[in-house]
Chains A and B, each alone.
Chain A
Amino acid sequence: MTTTPQAVRRASPRTRRKTTPAAPDPSAGFMPQREPVRLLEPDGTPLPARDDYPEPPVEALREMYRRMVVGRRFDVQATALTKQGRLAVYPSARGQEACQIGGVLALREDDWVFPTYRESMALTARGLDPVEVLTLLCGDWHCGYDPAATRTAPQCTPLATQCVHAAGLAYGESYQGRDTVALAFIGDGATSEGDFHEGINFAAVFKAPVVYLVQNNKYAISVPLSRQTAAPSLAYKGVGYGVPSEQVDGNDPVAVLAVLDRAVAHARAGKGPYLVEAHTYRMEPHTNADDQTRYRDADEVEAWRDRDPIARLEAYLRARGVLDDAAVAAVAEEAEEYAATLRRRMDSQPTVDPLSLFDHVYAEPTPQLVEQREMVRAELAADGEGDA
């Protein structure tokens, strides 16, 4: 039988397939899904269950609901405290409750959190004293809580610098034989900072058990996401570092917790870091001092009200029959009490001893600081204010 040109053409692809099998995609296992993971519709209707992100236990979801409601009430109260002059400034996290609460609920008590200034809600949800959390914004000191006792780093204002600390802490813990996980919160704007990249790279190279949770709330103060990245998702930034990455609907509490559960389990199992981008939206201005009308339309903000994470989870839990009017009322009452207690405690102006300025610069004050402390002590004595 003679071989026709057509036969050669037909045969050659088969031959090629046989001799050079397609190489496996080296980025497989790191790539985020094309669409953010979502387990609930915005109205709370459940989507089909999925194997990769099993739904968290119902008790965890009820607890998440409780902390989200209390957390939002805390946030509203803190904003009110700025109007009364009790806080110098407050960066609100309203609208981001699923990320704030999910981020701490996914962790054990002995895990470490590396928060930014916008995580006051997350920290109070973690059980930190709200007055201690608000110390930074109240102005009597910088960090008001004990990071070692609470396993919570000071709220970080220099952008993304905490990403490297989280890598170091997590590596140090595993180096010493402990299975601690560190979770670093970060915003979309800060993913442009070098320390985000250095942190995630160090974590990857040293297989440090860190979860990086990017709350993409669409704005870095006024600058929109389009000026931070040309990537289709911030989760793609993990791929180049060999870090498994995922994107999730950050206003879907069930999906946020499901994705973070998997990320934390991955880290705790010694497989290294995990990057999660949560798509969410900051419902309030950057801080109470910000004028958001200069950079976004009211319509845009209003459109996000339909995707409210608390209403979404409440509708889902009610439909499942695990949350009723009484339970909702009880949570609402708890939130009011939480806010009332905070209001009362913030009523009294804290006293700060000027001489304490010299206490924690070094373990022991230098001779120069001792001299300066004596100068201040003398000034206070002359003013009749000091104890000298």
Chain B
Amino acid sequence: MATMTMAKALNAALADAMLDDERVVVFGEDVGQLGGVFRITDGLQARFGDKRCFDTPLAEAGIVGFAVGLAMSGLRPVVEMQFDAFAYPAFEQIASHVAKLRNRTRGALSVPIVIRVPYAGGIGGVEHHCDSSEAYYAHTPGLKVVTPATVDDAYSLLRAAVDDPDPVVFLEPKKLYFTSAEAELPARTAPIGTAVVRRPGSDATLIAYGPAVPVALAAAEAAREEGWDLEVVDVRSIVPFDDATVTASVRRTGRCVVIQEAQGFAGVGAEIAARVQERCFHALHAPVLRVSGLDIPYPAPMLEHTHLPSVDRVLDAVARLQWDDQPDTRWVAA
């Protein structure tokens, strides 16, 4: 066991994937000699050569479209979008081709591409560097959408994404890049498509993914003082979504708060809340609540703490889960 950062685990996952499968090629902006602006591809070009890991022109649609062609020729491209919001020019390629080629061709063509996207905020980034863009991808059938919250998962999910027969949008929470944990590589955790219970509890379930997972865990810890024993489920795989694990947890606890860093309206948390309500209605003692970012464009650095879900906001939501069977009056007209 060694202590390592999520960034280092992701780097090791890419290196091991390139070692195991010579079809794997890694490219994007600044990923070569520089090793990526977050150093996730550090050393790959030196180790595997500039044909396996290379810089491209600064054109995100070009990067993803180029990956489509490379995948058609039999390679396994892993591309980096430098930041969440910089991936938007590639959206047509992702939505119209990457996601649909298998379907359009009745399975004759598949494009097993991994699109790595450093996403979300909490790092004091200036505008266009902190978007939570998961809902755009999750709303696009044909894509798998995965986001790790732990060092082990970062390694294992990225290896699984590279091996996956379908395209995977791999969302890397920037604020967790340099968090450390004990890890022994090559770690293999649960496969894509499964959620895991990060912390067992009996009173309510907190459902979170990516950068919101540490917030949920901190809230669960703080809730002990209030006398609440909270379970935390880490979604990990937004698509395919693990209804079974989530449903089992909420049926057990009877209460649920969904936490996401992204703005709330029409977000992934809304989908999760709806699914929980559909499947767990008779086990629920309170409405499913959401804690999310505000419905605003990502704010400037000095205001981001007001925007981001905090432990206090999560605890406020937990407090409203009708513990004394009193209805939540928040939405009742005066």
- CB-contacts of A151-165 with B (<8 A): 153-154, 158, 161, 163-165
Q: How many chain B residues touch A (Cβ–Cβ < 8 Å)?
A: 47
User: Chain A contact residues: over half helix, strand or loop, or mixed?
Assistant: helix
The residue of chain B having its C-beta at the shortest distance from the C-beta of A154 within the complex is: B104
| B61 lies within 8 A of chain A by Cβ | yes
The answer for the CA separation of A10 and B67 in the assembled complex, in Å, is: 61
Which residue of A163, A172, A202 is within 8 Å of B75 (Cβ)? A172
Selecting from B10-18, B88-96, B213-221, B298-306, the interface stretch reads B88-96
- CB-contacts of A273-289 with B (<8 A): none
The answer for the CA separation of A361 and B166 in the assembled complex, in Å, is: 9
Which residue of A158, A170, A195, A202 is within 8 Å of B57 (Cβ)? A202
B105 touches A143 (CB 8 A): yes
- CB-contacts of A163-185 with B (<8 A): 163-173, 175-176, 182
| B141 lies within 8 A of chain A by Cβ | yes
Residues of B contacting A172 in the complex (Cβ-Cβ under 8 angstroms): 69-75
| B41 lies within 8 A of chain A by Cβ | no
Asked whether A362 and B74 contact (CB < 8 A) given A170-B69, A368-B241, the answer is: no
| A34 lies within 8 A of chain B by Cβ | no
| A363 lies within 8 A of chain B by Cβ | yes
The answer for the CA separation of A74 and B78 in the assembled complex, in Å, is: 42
Residues of B contacting A366 in the complex (Cβ-Cβ under 8 angstroms): 193, 239-241
Contact with B along A51-63 (1 / 0, CB 8 A): 0000000000000
B62 touches A199 (CB 8 A): yes
Chain A interface size band reads 35 or more
The answer for the CA separation of A205 and B58 in the assembled complex, in Å, is: 12
| A147 lies within 8 A of chain B by Cβ | yes
B69 touches A363 (CB 8 A): no
The residue of chain A having its C-beta at the shortest distance from the C-beta of B111 within the complex is: A165
The residue of chain B having its C-beta at the shortest distance from the C-beta of A168 within the complex is: B69
The residue of chain A having its C-beta at the shortest distance from the C-beta of B77 within the complex is: A168
| B66 lies within 8 A of chain A by Cβ | yes
B243 to chain A, nearest CB (A): 6
A362 touches B68 (CB 8 A): no
Which residue of A142, A169, A205 is within 8 Å of B72 (Cβ)? A169
The answer for the CA separation of A147 and B72 in the assembled complex, in Å, is: 9
Which residue of A154, A164, A173 is within 8 Å of B101 (Cβ)? A154
The answer for the CA separation of A166 and B73 in the assembled complex, in Å, is: 10
Residues of B contacting A363 in the complex (Cβ-Cβ under 8 angstroms): 102, 110, 165-166
The residue of chain A having its C-beta at the shortest distance from the C-beta of B73 within the complex is: A172
The answer for the CA separation of A326 and B97 in the assembled complex, in Å, is: 47
Which residue of A154, A176, A361 is within 8 Å of B105 (Cβ)? A154
Asked whether A168 and B105 contact (CB < 8 A) given A153-B72, A176-B73, A201-B62, the answer is: no
A147 touches B57 (CB 8 A): no
Contact with A along B77-109 (1 / 0, CB 8 A): 000000000000100110011001111111111
| B142 lies within 8 A of chain A by Cβ | yes
| B65 lies within 8 A of chain A by Cβ | yes
Asked whether A205 and B66 contact (CB < 8 A) given A143-B106, A362-B166, A368-B243, the answer is: no
B72 touches A165 (CB 8 A): yes
| B56 lies within 8 A of chain A by Cβ | yes
Asked whether A146 and B57 contact (CB < 8 A) given A161-B96, A368-B241, the answer is: no
Which residue of B75, B144, B244 is within 8 Å of A367 (Cβ)? B244
A274 to chain B, nearest CB (A): 17
A205 touches B93 (CB 8 A): no
A164 touches B62 (CB 8 A): yes
| B139 lies within 8 A of chain A by Cβ | no
The answer for the CA separation of A240 and B242 in the assembled complex, in Å, is: 50
The answer for the CA separation of A165 and B109 in the assembled complex, in Å, is: 13
A272 to chain B, nearest CB (A): 14
The residue of chain A having its C-beta at the shortest distance from the C-beta of B99 within the complex is: A361
| B198 lies within 8 A of chain A by Cβ | no
| A354 lies within 8 A of chain B by Cβ | no
| B51 lies within 8 A of chain A by Cβ | yes
The residue of chain B having its C-beta at the shortest distance from the C-beta of A144 within the complex is: B106
The residue of chain A having its C-beta at the shortest distance from the C-beta of B95 within the complex is: A158
Contact with B along A334-363 (1 / 0, CB 8 A): 000000000000000000000010011111
The residue of chain A having its C-beta at the shortest distance from the C-beta of B164 within the complex is: A363
Residues of A contacting B193 in the complex (Cβ-Cβ under 8 angstroms): 366-367
- CB-contacts of A108-161 with B (<8 A): 141-143, 146-149, 153-154, 158, 161
A110 to chain B, nearest CB (A): 12
The answer for the CA separation of A247 and B243 in the assembled complex, in Å, is: 58
Residues of A contacting B108 in the complex (Cβ-Cβ under 8 angstroms): 143, 146-149
- CB-contacts of A195-215 with B (<8 A): 195, 198-199, 201-202, 205
| B34 lies within 8 A of chain A by Cβ | no
| B59 lies within 8 A of chain A by Cβ | yes
The answer for the CA separation of A360 and B144 in the assembled complex, in Å, is: 14
Residues of A contacting B165 in the complex (Cβ-Cβ under 8 angstroms): 362-363
Residues of A contacting B244 in the complex (Cβ-Cβ under 8 angstroms): 367
Residues of A contacting B75 in the complex (Cβ-Cβ under 8 angstroms): 172, 175-176
| A270 lies within 8 A of chain B by Cβ | no
The residue of chain B having its C-beta at the shortest distance from the C-beta of A114 within the complex is: B69
Pairs across A and B, CB under 8 Å, 8 listed? A143-B106, A147-B72, A154-B105, A164-B93, A171-B70, A363-B166, A366-B193, A367-B240
Q: Which are the 9 A-B pairs with shortest beta-carbon distances?
A: A168-B69, A164-B65, A172-B73, A198-B62, A169-B69, A366-B240, A363-B165, A168-B66, A142-B104
Binding site for B on A (CB under 8 A): 141-143, 146-149, 153-154, 158, 161, 163-173, 175-176, 182, 194-195, 198-199, 201-202, 205, 356, 359-363, 366-368
- Contacts beyond the supplied A205-B56, A363-B165: 11 A-B pairs with Cβ under 8 Å: A143-B105, A146-B108, A154-B101, A165-B69, A168-B72, A169-B70, A171-B70, A195-B62, A360-B107, A361-B141, A366-B239
